[in-house]
Amino acid sequence: MELGTLLRICRERKRLSQQNLAFAVGIDRSEVSRLERNLKPIDVITLEMWAKATDGGHIIGWFVAEMLGASEKRWERALRVEMLTEQLRQTLGEKGAD
């Protein structure tokens, strides 16, 4: 998986539009698009702000660790756990609304 794909997943998981994320991070919407399509490298400050805006810091952190030599399976597992946790929150939230 490329970093841009992971950035998009984090944004979509948080249900943010490209425009809303751009505002939160302080960049243009077109830059969000370019970053998600891996057409532009992301700087460390933007990556940190993206992680905060999407609550994806640990997932992005695993990805960066993998780039530096950690196991790819570990961050993929972290992503799956995060997705399952979100599904559980939604399910519990729906049952609590009944």
Domain containing 54: what range? 3-97
Which residue bears the tokens 């660790």? 65
Model confidence pLDDT, tens digit, residues 30-75: 999 999 999 999 888 898 899 889 988 777 776 777 666 666 566 6
> How many separate domains does the chain show?
1
- CATH number of the domain to which 25 belongs: 1.10.260.40
The first and second tokens of residue 95, run together, are 């049952």
Model confidence pLDDT, tens digit, residues 75-88: 667 677 777 777 78
